[in-house]
Copies of this chain bind each other. A is one copy, B any other.
């Protein structure tokens, strides 16, 4: 599991300069001073440093293994993404090595630190909530390992990314509630600080603003992604003096939790209280009334991320990466219809 060769991280440590400086020195870019460049090259030669370019098989002898790092797999969204990745990988003769972080930044870091990059041609990554591994991803990219982010991306890192359009999806979901006559719309959000939590929150706020509805801070609840959190968040909303008459949940699991809380309180979903989610988990058709949602292109995201990664691997000189944002799709069911038939 441990790395068996000298990395630019080692060189950076010994010379007490940044990894990015070492990387730039080795790539001979114009913005590193001559003295530093010489120091780096001398040490690299001394330590017999070989860029991962070779180690990862980019130049010769590919391993035909792609690593996938992601928070969960017991989850409709992620297991569908993996299925998309798997399809493209299989058709191109690659295998998939799976690393599950359990959405824990500590485990993500441990995985990154122990990653045997020499056995991988590239990496597909969806970061964990509160990830603090961004430096590790940057280092691995600097070492020459192709990395593509999907869904939960590290904004500050410059590489290919594949996401759904969280902002517009959220905007459309909330506007749909408004157009169906709901006016006091709450949002049960994901954890603060995550990029897609923020994008969906912004879509929510902008839709309310467009329709001249007031933003009520009490109606925005941040918590985790599970059904239980959705239930708790909703009980919290229902205890407010000023209660909402609808809610937009950051995902379907939380929306389903919300519906369970509403049912437990004897509130009729749809008729009395509108609910809309985000994902299009098969559960949304099973629950009664059926849940309106924004369908995420999970399979497509898996396919495209893997295709991009293979481009990075096979055409490292000609392909400089791209950001792809796929639209979601509003799916109207009974939970967001005032006159829903039960």
Contacts and interface: CB of A to CB of B under 8 A. Distances in A.
Interface in A252-278: 256
B80 A98 contact: no
A97 B100 contact: no
Contacts of A64: 1, 116
Interface string A79-106: 1101100100010010111111000000
A286 interface: yes
Given A286-B256, A286-B286, A83 B100 contact: yes
Contact of A100 (B86, B93, B283): B86
A31 B75 CA distance: 51
Q: How many copies does the complex hold?
A: 2
Closest 4 CB pairs of A and B: A74-B79, A97-B97, A288-B288, A73-B79
A331 interface: no
A131 interface: no
A65 interface: yes
Interface in A284-311: 286-288
A65 B120 CA distance: 12
A76 interface: yes
A288 B342 CA distance: 12
Contact of A74 (B1, B80, B95, B287): B80
Contacts of A99: 95-96
A193 interface: no
Contacts of A65: 97, 119
A62 to B, nearest CB: 10
A116 B65 CA distance: 11
Contact of A73 (B73, B114, B116, B286): B73
Contacts of A107: 90
29 contacts: A1-B93, A63-B119, A73-B79, A73-B83, A73-B86, A74-B76, A74-B79, A74-B80, A74-B83, A75-B79, A79-B79, A83-B100, A86-B100, A90-B100, A90-B107, A93-B114, A95-B97, A95-B99, A95-B116, A96-B97, A97-B97, A97-B98, A98-B98, A119-B119, A282-B283, A283-B283, A286-B286, A287-B287, A288-B288
